Amino acid sequence: MDYVSPIDPRTVRVQPPAMRPGSLAGRTVVLLDITKHRGAEFLDHVERLLQGHDARTLRRSKQTFSRPATVELIEQIAIHGDLCVEGLAD
């Protein structure tokens, strides 16, 4: 059986990757827990690594993994963070 994507690639605009900072020192990285099993454990590990590079971390969580993040949560991440890591797990 062939895989058929539900997204028509002809309608998706190609976007360049976001700029990456040269250093994490002094940056605030928002760690977004989507509340899937073991996601917080993954983010705990990432948090230790980031703090080892002098980054500040801020933890946020979605109410449930099965729904998109709320507009308010997205705004909080954009206002308070320089970067975001989303914890996907299972």
- 23-55 pLDDT, tens digit per residue, is 999 999 999 999 998 889 999 999 999 999 999
pLDDT at res. 3? 67
- 69 domain-assigned: yes
Give the angle subtended at the CA of 80 by the CAs of 78 and 28, to the nearest 5°.
Answer: 110
56 domain-assigned: yes
Residue 1 clears pLDDT 80, i.e. is over it: no
Q: Tokens 């993954």, residue?
A: 42
Give the count of domains, the chain: 1
Question: For 62-83, what is each residue's pLDDT tens digit?
Answer: 988 888 889 999 999 999 999 9
CA–CA distance, 31 with 66 (Å, rounded to integer): 18
Residue 59 lies in a domain: yes
**25 - beta bridge partners?**
none
pTM, rounded to two decimals: 0.78
C-alpha torsion sign, points 10, 69, 61, 55? positive
Q: Which domain holds residue 74?
A: 25-87
